[in-house]
Amino acid sequence: MNSIDSIHQFYQKHAWLSKWLEDPAYVRIRFKMLEKGYPPVDFPPELVTKVSLDVFNRIEAERIPLFIGSQFGVHPRPGNLEGFFNGEKMIAVLVKSLLSGHISGMNLYRIQADDTDFTGNNNRLIRRF
């Protein structure tokens, strides 16, 4: 398999990524994820940085926390991250089946300043990709 085929397969598996990169409101935003606490995930390395908990918790304009949402919940569990609920912020949840490995998209949610946990409630949904 050549590199063109490999890139094509990657974008087929991650159809949400094309929508993300074509949206002028979000194209500059990158993601941050913790060193551990995630199920296996194939994510474009140029879009994500692995960071410490302190950096993950920071509210940044152009870099947002990345979580994995599955049939078994959200990983890592936001309610278990000390200091995470520290103000209004946007988070990304990559929607993945842990059984098949299929990624069906990515959702952006708003965390409110007074939140103490995250459940994926649709009234906090900003956008689906």
**Does 46 or 75 have the greater pLDDT score?**
75
Q: Distance between CA atoms of 16 and 39, rounded to whole angstroms?
A: 19
Given a cut of 60, is residue 2 above it in pLDDT? no
DSSP 28: T
pLDDT at 49: 93
Q: For residue 76, what are the domain limits?
A: 3-128
Tell me how many domains the chain contains: 1
CA-closest candidate to residue 47, choices 64, 60, 35: 64
pLDDT of residue 21: 82
Contact in structure between 104 and 120 (CB atoms under 8 Å) = no
Provide the whole-model pTM. Answer: 0.85
